[in-house]
Structure 1
Amino acid sequence: MPATVHNKIVHGPEEELIPAHLSYGQFLYDKFRQGGDRIALINAETGENVTFKYILQSSINLATSLKELGLKKGDVVALSSENRFEFTIASQAIIFCGAILSTLNVTYSPGELAHILQIIKPKFIFSSPIIAQNIYDCSKDLPCVKNIILFGEYDVVPALFYNELVKKHHMSIDDFMVADVNGAEDAVAVMCSSGTTGLPKGVMLTHVNFLTLSAHMKYYLSMSQEKRKHKIKTGLSLIPWFHAYGFITTMAVMCMHINVVFLVRFDEQQFLEAIQKYKVNMTTIVPPLAVFLAKHPLVAKYDLSSLNEIWCGAAPLSSEIQKMVSQRTGIDFIKQGYGLTEVTMACCVDLTGGSKIGSCGTPAPGMKIKVLDIDSGKLLSIGEKGELWIKSPLRMKGYMHDQEASNALIDSEGYVRTGDIGYYDEDGYFYIVDRLKELIKYKGFQVAPAELEALLLQHPGVADCGVVGMPDEAAGELPTAFVVRQPNSTVTETDIIQYIARKVSPAKHLRGGVIFLKEIPKNASGKILRRELKAMLPNKLAKSKL
């Protein structure tokens, strides 16, 4: 994907602008209607499948029932569920009504859920049985919530049933009218920020944001297929759809009439069996899954030869893990992408085929990225590490009911502050180092946890890891590693400390020590929950190990 560097700003290729009046709901209606009787979704757990026509008809029926219940343009409807057919149908029905979809993490604690419900103020909440009690408890005293709509057939909490609403009306596909919207101004969704460093915010994304991202996905896939001379027929979706990365990319792929096999939950064996059984050509993953493909002994037992497109995002992926996956599976290259919810996910994708390993690629069409010095705000040049700022048609409308936070994120030129540290090379390819808030400050030196994690994962005795800073009265913070051992490994704290010391400069040594865990806490998109790791640190101010 071509990029140009001008006055220390990296530009993506020219954007084909989306007309401001267009509707994402109309786009979905048209694409699913064109899909007809082709298979759209396959449940990897049950083998059940549904067609594009079935999804469209069910969405129209449900939209008709929702309107009858009083759903109007601009109302917010929340949806909290694992991946399942009803998720896609309910999402489309909400969007067809001109309402605003808000997908909520099924693993939210009551505190997190109550916080986001107070922000979005939904009229209805679609819920899976697995989170229904939590939803009910957190919403029963909210006057804005008129009904909970329950997937499944069991009366878990007081609610309406999704199945009954879908069957109540049978509206002709030809006669149905999608609600009219102003695509550039009207929000189509409120997606939750990742909440890795604090409580999540509600990111408002417009119809044009979603349409532009869909156009970009088609651009990336078309370029890649043409370059590599292959055809993508089947994709595998395992990122939870309540996460913006999982939802937006899956819908975009379906709108290209690629059939999608999905996992209800991640299961190591089922993941590998699905690729083998359905001859999956492409999938989107997160770094922990790349580590699984690189290191888990189960992987060698399955035929993954159908895979020719693996895209990885949501957190930095080291070049070492990329190489290990290729060597172990025969897959020639994992494409790394970079994005954030505030700019509708994908900002960069690497389409080189491996010549820029470790890079997350060049800016998307219509996008400009600048790198600023963390302390001075000075515009930086090739190879200089600083904070990335992004200007794009994909920029969010703002944080819902939080104008102060919205203003703080966007500068006077319209660039969005990412909070990510990185740099670009002479060809405009970007490399992400770490999150600004996650940098460890040791005696004035900035230590990137992701760099140490990438090195730790190369150790044969390490299955997974996370690195944080331990507060220290003399040095500020001491790099501290949390490590999950490989099965049957006897690697010790001393082994790991010495291993890292041989590979990095003194400021990056693991002076805070090593803490062994059974599992590294992560959110649904694979980002390490460093606040949970920090809570496990010894409850006292450390003394420097000089």
Structure 2
Amino acid sequence: MPTESTYPKIEIPNVDLWEFLFERKDKQFPDDKVIYTDPDTTRSYTYAQVRSTAIEFGKGLKSQWEWKRGDVLALYTPNCIDTPAITWGTHWAGGILSPANPGYTPDELAFQLKDSGAKALVTQKPFLKSACEAAAKVGIPEERIILIGDQRDETARFKHFTSLKNLAGTARYRRTKVDPKKDLAFLVYSSGTTGHPKGVMLSHENIVANTLMIKVAEGGNLSWKGGKDGRGDKILAFLPFYHIYGLTCLIHQSMYSGFELVVMPKFDLESFCRHIQTHRITFAYVVPPVVLMLGKSPLIDKYDLSSVRMLNSGAAPLTRDLVDAVYKRLKIPIKQGYGLSETSPTTHTQPWEDWNKTIGSVGRLLPNQTAKYMSADETEVPAGQTGELWIKGPNVFQGYLNNPEGTRNAKTEDGYFKTGDVGHQDEHGNFYITDRVKELIKYKGFQVPPAELEGLLAAHDNIDDVAVIGIYNKEQATEVPRAYVVPKKGVQATKETEKQIMDWLAAKVASHKRLRGGVKFVDEIPKSASGKILRRLLKERALAEEKKAEKAKL
């Protein structure tokens, strides 16, 4: 029998995100509560300021660009405290937000712009060149590229988002009503093994449901008030807002629950520690590579991190060694969670009180969900046995944009999402994720499709054949992409050739897709009779090479 969540069922209101956040009757914190803070500039937004800025932006979209229900606004920017107002202003106008990785090359961004049907693009000044190049490829005019952040375009060719509001006559515009169950709030892009990213369609109901589910999961341990300074819990936000982990767990949770979010544009260990010390951060969502640094880096000793009451790690499994090392050093507990873009994202997390009882587990199934582990022939396996995790609930996505076949393969007729992750549950209802059915490489929470890298590398003049796999890097506590290359006849398999291939690819892809696992030269790529690359054999080879190297060190 499928496993039902052990949490009491919660009511998911039939409202869109605007009504959920800004027209609620149960808000406990005041309108002047500071929600988003930029620690470098001290610029901030209160709840009321986010709401008013979002409305003005939404009116600007309607008056200047005739924004319609279902129009897509693309976001190509690092974390910025302007992002929430842009997000909900787009929703106010009936639109859909599609965030893109600011590390994307113009070609990668252009694919997302075209696939999503984006009508306009929001970026920051340092990213204008790539943004313009991508927009030109898909026919988005320059006047529909606008800026957020503190830097303005001195040429005045590109407007700042603040100039898209405060227009005379916009008072006549009203909020566009949407259907929470059917209308999309977000189009986030998740890489597929076919090489092209897939547009994950998330409805307003999906995000409303997951925001409420996360609140239940934290079990009242986080508060908008109280603490030594009376300002409540403060969450440090470095996880990217263009990723569903950051979108829901950071942006939406903070606005719904009244937490202050101290926003970093990107992760940097020294800034991370300094902000914790300066702002007395109490909670942060992290990923295993950050946990590794907290356990090992000598930099940590320069800072007082004692205000942190809990860390929540996601994106990849954590080992007991890592959790124990951090607790022994800093007395900071770390619980784990699990989720996917297709589930909005959080489906499981460890309760605060259980963080050290089931290390290695991703915790319990959150409210209003059903889950089961399935065998290769799609029959359910009992507790304790290994299978692929399938999940059903109000947080499960609507499908993949423009990809009915992908949707059919991922979702069953009765609503289960096939996660592609393998694991089991124990007799106490704790879930474990141990492997992946899918061949995606997971680098620090980012998905890297091997087929995409293989497609690019195959075009290299010095490469005859190629296969890409993920190998685990202990120093970084993450998988990294490695290419196995059959060189063209006459090409020397040297360190110089390896570096040339790595540098060549690095210029063509986003940072997380680089060959951090290096290049290995081989005589042939193992393949099945039908021509499919046998990555399993390459993984076995990589493990054997690693063991041999470790023996050589002894």
Q: How does 1:493-508 map to 2 (within 5 A)?
A: none
CA contact (8 A) 1:128 1:150 kept: yes
Where does residue 19 of structure 1 map in the other structure?
A: 13
Give the letter for the 2:361 counterpart: S
Q: Distance in 2 between matches of 1:17 and 1:160?
A: 42
Q: Per-residue displacement from partner, 1:335-387 (whole Å, max 9, x unpaired)?
A: 111000111100101102321111101111111111112x3333212222221
Q: How does 1:37-436 map to 2 (within 5 A)?
A: 37-69=32-64, 70-143=66-139, 147-151=144-148, 152-155=151-154, 158-168=157-167, 177-194=174-191, 198-224=195-221, 232-250=232-250, 251-331=252-332, 333-351=333-351, 352-373=354-375, 375-436=376-437
Give the letter for the 2:10 counterpart: E
Alpha-carbon distance, 1:57 to partner: 1.6
RMSD: 3.4
The runs of 5 or more residues in structure 2 that have no matched partner are: 442-468, 487-501, 526-537, 549-554
Q: Distance in 1 between matches of 2:241 and 2:439?
A: 26
Q: Distance in 2 between matches of 1:30 and 1:95?
A: 14
The total of aligned residue pairs comes to 469
381-390 vs 147-156, greater mean Cα deviation: 147-156
CA contact (8 A) 1:60 1:176 kept: no
CA contact (8 A) 2:110 2:137 kept: no
Give the letter for the 1:370 counterpart: K
Q: Distance in 2 between matches of 1:89 and 1:11?
A: 34
Q: Distance in 2 between matches of 1:383 and 1:537?
A: 38
Q: Distance in 1 between matches of 2:75 and 2:518?
A: 30
Q: Per-residue displacement from partner, 1:28-76 (whole Å, max 9, x unpaired)?
A: 2236996411211111222332322222221111111111020111111
State the TM-score, normalized to the length of structure 1.
Answer: 0.78
Q: Distance in 1 between matches of 2:275 and 2:233?
A: 14
Where does residue 514 of structure 1 map in the other structure?
A: none
Alpha-carbon distance, 1:204 to partner: 0.9
CA contact (8 A) 2:348 2:364 kept: yes
CA contact (8 A) 1:41 1:260 kept: yes
Q: Distance in 2 between matches of 1:59 and 1:317?
A: 38
Alpha-carbon distance, 1:391 to partner: 0.8
CA contact (8 A) 1:44 1:270 kept: no
The runs of 5 or more residues in structure 1 that have no matched partner are: 1-6, 441-448, 474-516
Q: Distance in 1 between matches of 2:117 and 2:476?
A: 42
CA contact (8 A) 1:12 1:366 kept: no
Q: SS in structure 2 opposite 1:131?
A: helix
Q: SS in structure 2 opposite 1:168?
A: coil
Note closer, same or farther for the CA distance 1:463–1:81 as it changes in structure 2 (3 Å cut): closer
Q: Percent identity?
A: 27
Q: Per-residue displacement from partner, 1:489-542 (whole Å, max 9, x unpaired)?
A: xxxxxxxxxxxxxxxxxxxxxxxxxxxx99xx9xx999x75x845772325438
Q: SS in structure 2 opposite 1:437?
A: coil
Q: Distance in 2 between matches of 1:169 and 1:282?
A: 43
Q: How does 1:443-454 map to 2 (within 5 A)?
A: 453=472
Note closer, same or farther for the CA distance 1:311–1:106 as it changes in structure 2 (3 Å cut): same
CA contact (8 A) 1:8 1:381 kept: no
Q: Distance in 2 between matches of 1:525 and 1:25?
A: 33
Q: SS in structure 2 opposite 1:135?
A: helix
CA contact (8 A) 2:153 2:159 kept: no
Alpha-carbon distance, 1:178 to partner: 3.1
Alpha-carbon distance, 1:468 to partner: 7.0
CA contact (8 A) 2:482 2:515 kept: no
Alpha-carbon distance, 1:131 to partner: 2.1
Alpha-carbon distance, 1:298 to partner: 0.8
Alpha-carbon distance, 1:167 to partner: 4.2
Alpha-carbon distance, 1:10 to partner: 5.0
State the TM-score, normalized to the length of structure 2.
Answer: 0.77
Alpha-carbon distance, 1:192 to partner: 1.3
CA contact (8 A) 2:192 2:440 kept: no
Alpha-carbon distance, 1:120 to partner: 0.5
